[in-house]
Chains A and B, each alone.
Chain A
Amino acid sequence: MAELLLEILSEEIPARMQARAADDLKRLMTDGLKKAGLTFEDARSFVTPRRLALVVDGLPVNQPDVTEERRGPRVDAPEQAIQGFLKGNGLTLDQCEKRTTPKGEFYFVVVERKGQVTADLLPEMFNDMFQVFPWPKSMRWGTGGQRWVRPLHGILCLFDGAVVPMAVGSTKSTNSTIGHRVLAPGVIGVNDFAEYRDKLENAQVILDADERRKAIAGQAEKLTKKEKLTVKIDNSLLAEVTGLVEWPMALMGRIDEVFMDLPEEVLTTAMRHHQKYFSVVDAKGKLAPRFIAVANTEATDDGKAIIAGNERVLRARLADARYFWDQDRKRTLESRVAGLDGVVFQQRLGSVLDKAERMAKLARTLAEYTGVDPDLAERAARLAKADLTTEMVVEFPELQGVMGRYYALADGETAEVAEAIADHYAPQGPADRCPSASVNVAVAMADKIDSLVGFWMIDEKPTGSKDPFALRRSALGVIRLIVENELSVPLLELFTAVYGFFPPSYNKERSVIPADVLARDLLDFFADRLKVHLRDKGVRHDLITAVFSLGDEDDLVRLLARVEALETFLASDDGEHLLVAYKRAANIVAIEEKKDGVIYDQPVDAGNLADAEEASLHAGLEEAAPRIAKAVAEERFADAMSALAGLRAPVDAFFDKVTVNCDDQTLRANRLRLLSRIRGALGGVADFSKIEG
């Protein structure tokens, strides 16, 4: 058993691509090995800023020999065919065996294919991997035509301790690599993986990203602990920083006290966004005037110059931030609204000013449903986007909303308005905090519904994995805002109203997608999102479909109450039986309608009910149908279900005793109408045909 060691050395690989690249390297190479029939015990891949590495253990030095049985032509086939088969396999007739099969007597032959030397198979495998490697972006360099994420500098490839000769352009494989760019730039020769890893570590390269990650977190904690502070480990930042260093060295610097009165979010974002620094907090969780930077070197002065340099950069960054903060507060948010006409919302949907105007109108309408002063909702919605033209948000887009809150407070807006501005982008996904204050909910919904209707109007809907405007997230946001705040909101009506908010210049689109069609289509999209959202909570998606398909339900809270009642009912003995009976009735009607080319949806002829069971089913349906409709209309879903339950006995009895397809055609037709009526009565609650099981 032998080991394969591969390292691809290049210039710095973007941090965000590294983890995926390590996975891809392993996948592509092990797929190649498997395809060649080469088994192995274990494969591990590694990535640092400058190298992708792979080690595969327990590989055979030879491909296994393969024995293959081939069937030739029939024994009585023309001589030409037999000779062709023999020639094609390099055989003589006496090497073949005659064997009788159900299809006749055939020639059979056993062919043995000798396995190749594993090392000989590797260059092609490597080459295939290199050519198809799925970098999100790759490049050419110099005069070569090769592509890689950045210029390639070396290939180390050892199999069973020997160099596997291969090349990319002028770069040939060797048994050596180099260490840290500054600390150990010399050439390192290796014989196997263990030596490779150890020698790299001696050359100030920690191969394993996990180890580097732990080292960074550990060093940062140690540094902050000395001052009784705590580093805030932001995992995505930690992953990014891990991808920028081969030899991590966390260093703690100071934030100049004069900047500590800037909003915490501004400090944290400036540090993270531009400088990739970790924030540090005190025992009370308040931001401390410290930061953690991670260097990729061990400086000869213990990092004094590096810290000083980083502190200076941060001072410049924060001086910028302070300048933005001071400049921005010289103007009110109110005065910035008009300037939003220079910010594109979407080319065909106009500016953000247009959007803000629509949101203001919509927030007024929504205020009615969330139970808040419409003036307040309108005010917050009108100002919600005004921070987009502030210098701070232009610099740090991720502070949108947050800055709006600060600036609104500085302008003397009410706290409610300020909070609603801050909250209006939420919730941004299934795990994000969902606003609950009624103004916030109204504005957050207005923002999202406006986007959804707008993008639906210009037919920019999400397709497959493509959702560039995050409309799925917007719909989920609206769903969560409604459901979690238990709001009764008629979505179809609302969609239609918002449709009317878009200016007449969109007449062209409007003539393509009429308002009612758009509203319905958007509601279907909501139904899909709702199913996805509730799947995690164990709610059956078929029940949601069953209620949505009726087409009369656009109030999500009521819909969920109906679904819940339905679920409880179906879990009961009556419910289970009634569903079976429904399916049976629906099947029979469907089959007979198809056969006869007639639809049996006419009223049942009460005077033509021959058996007691059919008369009692008819009576039961006549009695239950209005009760069900009334209960549903009054949102007494449990009552509707108990009316349904009452139908179980007559339906069961009917199927027990009555023969639907009897010889008397009038009687048969009437019975089919009766069965069709079951479908109609149950249809007041849900479309039972959509229910599974």
Chain B
Amino acid sequence: MTAAPDKKTSFQSLILALQTFWADQGCVVLQPYDMEVGAGTFHPATTLRVLGTKPWRAAYVQPSRRPADGRYGDNPNRLQHYYQFQVILKPSPDDSQDLYLQSLRHLGIDEGLHDIRFVEDDWESPTLGASGLGWEVWCDGMEVTQFTYFQQMGGMECDPVAVEFTYGLERLAMYIQGVDNAYDLDWNGLPKDQGGLTYGDVFHQAEKEFSTYNFEHANTETVARHFKDAEAQCGALLALTPPLPLPAYEQCIKASHLFNLLDARGVIGVAERAAYIARVRALAKGCCEAWLVSQGEGV
């Protein structure tokens, strides 16, 4: 089933609408971080900026990679590469929920017709040493957003507390367009004969190829070596006087993705897995601490 292309509900117009809405709320609209990350939270605009006392509001799209979630393009809902729209408000305003609901209204979701609910879902990222409390937001039974009040990042308490809204863009778009298969999403709102493209047109081949790469061909020795290199480089950058937290954090992100790749290749034993996570967490913690020091808010 494919909906008739519509410029108002196309995948890209959804992103534009969210950007406009959050720009109006005083957010800096950023571009995706140019590295492979597992979630929008890994963007330094979240990981690092939620620390310390300085106010911060940002919104951005972040392509997210989860190698283990690849399904060779066969599954209508699971992708190893997908989009998150990330909003960070620090400190979390009193009307966080209202603002979020207004953003849905801005996307054309009429609360009078739909059932929007906040269902408990606490969030934790063992690799970032981060955790928060909040909900999955359900729209007519579909989880459209992860809504989290950050409590910890890099093992440190967040004070003030930031609130994070992570919109699952494909899901949200599938919901709004009434589509059952992510690959059928209308990307640009044009009829096919006028250059209309679907999500599948843009990404299906990538999903197939990257699933094959992630599961079958990623050279595990190379990847494992790159992990070690990134880890060593991160440590070296943090050991400088003064340290370089931002480049160090990039190495941490790199290590995290390489670990995900090794995990997808199925070469990490269970005890080893926990050890890898602890190693990435140690990097993240070091970066967070160095970042705070660089902000004049040392620990």
Binding site for B on A (CB under 8 A): 11-12, 14-16, 49, 137, 139-143, 145, 150-151, 153, 182, 244-245, 275, 277, 293, 295-297, 299-301, 305-306, 308-310, 312-316, 319-320, 323, 341-344, 347, 351
Q: Is the CB of B151 within 8 A of A140?
A: yes
Q: Of B12-20, B29-37, B116-124, which binds chain A?
A: B116-124
Q: Give min CB distance, B55 to chain A, whole Å.
A: 10
Knowing that A15-B120, A141-B149, A151-B149 are A-B contacts, what are 8 other residue pairs whose CB atoms are under 8 Å apart, sorted by A's residue number? A140-B159, A182-B111, A309-B141, A312-B180, A315-B180, A316-B77, A342-B266, A344-B270
Within residues 152 to 206 of chain B, which ones have a CB less than 8 A from any CB in chain A? 159-161, 163, 174-175, 178, 180
Q: Do A309 and B139 contact each other (CB < 8 Å), given the known contacts A12-B118, A14-B120?
A: yes
Q: Is the CB of A299 within 8 A of B78?
A: no
Q: Do A342 and B270 contact each other (CB < 8 Å), given the known contacts A139-B133, A299-B112, A305-B114?
A: yes
CA distance A230 to B203 in the complex (A): 44
Q: Do A320 and B115 contact each other (CB < 8 Å), given the known contacts A12-B135, A142-B161, A342-B269?
A: no
CA distance A319 to B71 in the complex (A): 13
**Does B113 reach chain A (CB closer than 8 Å)?**
yes
**Does B76 reach chain A (CB closer than 8 Å)?**
yes
The residues of B that contact A150 with a CB separation of less than 8 Å are 133, 149
Q: Is the CB of A11 within 8 A of B133?
A: no
Q: Is the CB of B161 within 8 A of A141?
A: yes
Q: Do A143 and B91 contact each other (CB < 8 Å), given the known contacts A15-B120, A151-B96, A343-B270?
A: yes
Within residues 85 to 121 of chain B, which ones have a CB less than 8 A from any CB in chain A? 91-94, 96-97, 111-120
Q: Is the CB of A309 within 8 A of B161?
A: no
**Does B229 reach chain A (CB closer than 8 Å)?**
no
**Does B140 reach chain A (CB closer than 8 Å)?**
yes
CA distance A150 to B160 in the complex (A): 15
In the complex, what residue of chain B is closest to A275 when comparing beta carbons?
B141
Q: Do A299 and B141 contact each other (CB < 8 Å), given the known contacts A16-B120, A139-B149, A320-B77?
A: no
Contact of A319 among B76, B94, B133, B163 (CB under 8 A): B76
CA distance A313 to B159 in the complex (A): 37
Q: Do A139 and B180 contact each other (CB < 8 Å), given the known contacts A296-B115, A299-B113, A313-B141?
A: no
Q: Is the CB of B175 within 8 A of A347?
A: no
Q: Is the CB of B161 within 8 A of A140?
A: yes
Q: Is the CB of A306 within 8 A of B115?
A: yes
The residues of B that contact A301 with a CB separation of less than 8 Å are 113
Q: Is the CB of B180 within 8 A of A319?
A: yes
Q: Give min CB distance, A85 to chain B, whole Å.
A: 51
**Does B75 reach chain A (CB closer than 8 Å)?**
yes
Q: Is the CB of A309 within 8 A of B142?
A: yes
**Does B271 reach chain A (CB closer than 8 Å)?**
yes
Contact of A137 among B76, B113, B115, B122 (CB under 8 A): B122
CA distance A379 to B115 in the complex (A): 49
Q: Is the CB of B118 within 8 A of A309?
A: no
**Does B74 reach chain A (CB closer than 8 Å)?**
yes
CA distance A11 to B92 in the complex (A): 13
Q: Is the CB of B270 within 8 A of A142?
A: no
In the complex, what residue of chain B is closest to A256 when comparing beta carbons?
B180
In the complex, what residue of chain B is closest to A309 when comparing beta carbons?
B140
7 tightest A-B contacts by CB? A309-B140, A14-B120, A295-B115, A12-B118, A310-B141, A344-B270, A139-B133
Q: How large is the interface on B (under 10, 10 to 19, 20 to 34, 35 or more residues)?
A: 35 or more
Q: Is the CB of A141 within 8 A of B92?
A: yes
Contact of B116 among A11, A139, A182, A342 (CB under 8 A): A182
The residues of A that contact B120 with a CB separation of less than 8 Å are 12, 14-16
CA distance A310 to B163 in the complex (A): 28
CA distance A153 to B92 in the complex (A): 13
In the complex, what residue of chain A is closest to B135 when comparing beta carbons?
A12
CA distance A296 to B78 in the complex (A): 29
The residues of B that contact A343 with a CB separation of less than 8 Å are 270
CA distance A315 to B92 in the complex (A): 36
Q: Is the CB of A142 within 8 A of B91?
A: yes
The residues of B that contact A182 with a CB separation of less than 8 Å are 111-112, 116
CA distance A315 to B29 in the complex (A): 35
Q: Is the CB of A305 within 8 A of B140?
A: yes
Q: Give min CB distance, A644 to chain B, whole Å.
A: 57
The residues of A that contact B269 with a CB separation of less than 8 Å are 341-342
The residues of A that contact B270 with a CB separation of less than 8 Å are 342-344, 347, 351
Q: Do A312 and B91 contact each other (CB < 8 Å), given the known contacts A141-B161, A142-B160, A297-B115?
A: no
Q: Give min CB distance, B129 to chain A, whole Å.
A: 17
- Residue contacts A-B, CB under 8 angstroms, 9 given: A140-B159, A142-B160, A151-B94, A305-B140, A306-B113, A309-B139, A320-B75, A343-B270, A347-B274
Q: Is the CB of A313 within 8 A of B140?
A: yes
Q: Do A300 and B119 contact each other (CB < 8 Å), given the known contacts A139-B133, A139-B149, A140-B151?
A: no
Q: Give min CB distance, A391 to chain B, whole Å.
A: 10
CA distance A142 to B96 in the complex (A): 10
Q: Give min CB distance, A546 to chain B, whole Å.
A: 46
Q: Is the CB of A323 within 8 A of B74?
A: yes
Contact of B75 among A15, A310, A323 (CB under 8 A): A323
Q: Give min CB distance, B96 to chain A, whole Å.
A: 7
Q: Give min CB distance, A278 to chain B, whole Å.
A: 13
Q: Give min CB distance, B139 to chain A, whole Å.
A: 7
Q: Give min CB distance, B189 to chain A, whole Å.
A: 21
Contact of A299 among B94, B114, B163 (CB under 8 A): B114
CA distance A153 to B93 in the complex (A): 12
Q: Is the CB of B94 within 8 A of A142?
A: yes
Q: Is the CB of A11 within 8 A of B77?
A: no
CA distance A344 to B142 in the complex (A): 32
In the complex, what residue of chain B is closest to A294 when comparing beta carbons?
B115
The residues of A that contact B122 with a CB separation of less than 8 Å are 137
CA distance A313 to B76 in the complex (A): 12
The residues of A that contact B149 with a CB separation of less than 8 Å are 139-141, 150-151
The residues of A that contact B141 with a CB separation of less than 8 Å are 275, 277, 293, 309-310, 313-314
Contact of B92 among A142, A312, A341 (CB under 8 A): A142
CA distance A305 to B139 in the complex (A): 11
Q: Is the CB of B113 within 8 A of A296?
A: no
The residues of B that contact A344 with a CB separation of less than 8 Å are 270-271
Q: Is the CB of B93 within 8 A of A310?
A: no
Q: Is the CB of B117 within 8 A of A244?
A: yes
Q: Is the CB of B76 within 8 A of A309?
A: no
The residues of A that contact B96 with a CB separation of less than 8 Å are 151
Q: Is the CB of A316 within 8 A of B117?
A: no
CA distance A323 to B71 in the complex (A): 10
The residues of A that contact B139 with a CB separation of less than 8 Å are 309
CA distance A151 to B174 in the complex (A): 31
The residues of B that contact A151 with a CB separation of less than 8 Å are 92, 94, 96, 149
The residues of A that contact B142 with a CB separation of less than 8 Å are 309, 312-313
The residues of B that contact A295 with a CB separation of less than 8 Å are 115, 140
In the complex, what residue of chain A is closest to B93 when comparing beta carbons?
A142
The residues of A that contact B266 with a CB separation of less than 8 Å are 342
CA distance A305 to B140 in the complex (A): 8
Q: Is the CB of A296 within 8 A of B117?
A: yes
Contact of A316 among B91, B97, B180, B274 (CB under 8 A): B180
CA distance A150 to B97 in the complex (A): 11
Q: Is the CB of A11 within 8 A of B118?
A: yes
